[in-house]
């Protein structure tokens, strides 16, 4: 009897862990070559929205070096449909370091820090299908040092 209860508890735990990740549409990172993000280089992420009636949280994942020369990072995103029509585009400011103390935000040790930054909460997509999210650095530098990788996470929210 005790063995059955333990087996049932393990099975329920596995089911809960599996169901918790089921709502993630995409969670992908792209390395920035040599930690230098060129102004003409786009981070591009293509994903499927299975149900346009659901809402989604969209987060960026930024891995930066502690010697990144600014406290913030300006990016422009472009949301495209499957026909490459731009549906939305906007300049966004991401804060990577505390403005006053200069301490890096996020989690990390040594020279690298990871920031997961929520940029859209409860976003609705107009229709089900394939979308592409493209992100470009907008720091007015041809070569921006200290950004090691950039990622995108799209996750369905609870209704």
Q: How far apart are CA 32 and CA 128, in angstroms?
A: 30
14 within some domain: no
Bridge partner list, 34: none
Domain harbouring 94, CATH code: 2.60.120
- What pLDDT is recorded for position 109? 83
- What pLDDT is recorded for position 1? 53
- What pLDDT is recorded for position 158? 78
7 within some domain: no
**Per-residue pLDDT tens digits for 80-120:** 999 999 999 999 999 999 999 989 999 998 899 999 999 99
State how many domains the chain has: 1
Structure tokens that stand for 98 in this block:
């505390």
Q: How far apart are CA 149 and CA 119, in angstroms?
A: 17
58 within some domain: yes
146 within some domain: yes
16 within some domain: no
Per-residue HEC secondary structure of the chain comes to CHHHHHHHHHHHHHHHHHHHHCCEEEEEEEECHHHEEECCCEEEEEEEECCCCCEEEEEEEEEEECCCCCCEEEEEEEEEECCCCEEEEEEEEEECECCCCCCECCEEECCEEEEEEEEEEEEECCCCEEEEEEEEECCCCCEEECEEEEEEEEEECCC
Question: What is the reported pTM?
Answer: 0.81
| pLDDT beneath 70: ranges in the chain | 1-21, 159
- What pLDDT is recorded for position 117? 93
- What pLDDT is recorded for position 19? 44
- What pLDDT is recorded for position 145? 97
Bridge partner list, 130: 48
Where in the sequence is the domain holding 33, given as residue range(s)?
24-156
52 within some domain: yes
- How many of the other CB atoms lie within 10 Å of CB of 148? 21
64 within some domain: yes
Structure tokens that stand for 141 in this block:
């530098």
Give, in degrees to the nearest 5, the angle at Cα 115 between 97 and 145: 65
- What pLDDT is recorded for position 96? 95
78 within some domain: yes
């Amino acid at each position: 009897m005790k063995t059955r209860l333990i087996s049932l508890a393990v099975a329920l735990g596995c089911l809960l862990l599996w169901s918790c990740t089921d709502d993630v549409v995409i969670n992908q990172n792209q390395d920035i070559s040599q930690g230098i993000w060129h102004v003409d280089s786009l981070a591009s992420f293509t994903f499927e929205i299975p149900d346009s009636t659901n809402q989604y949280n969209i987060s960026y994942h930024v891995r930066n070096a502690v010697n990144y020369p600014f406290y913030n990072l300006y990016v422009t995103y472009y949301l495209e449909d499957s026909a490459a029509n731009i549906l939305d585009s906007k300049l966004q400011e991401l804060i990577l370091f505390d403005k006053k103390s200069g301490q890096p935000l996020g989690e990390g040790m040594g020279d690298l820090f990871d920031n997961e930054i929520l940029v859209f909460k409860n976003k609705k997509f107009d229709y089900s299908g394939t979308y592409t999210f493209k992100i470009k650095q907008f720091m007015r530098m041809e070569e921006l040092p200290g950004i090691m990788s950039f990622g995108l996470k799209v996750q369905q929210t609870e209704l």
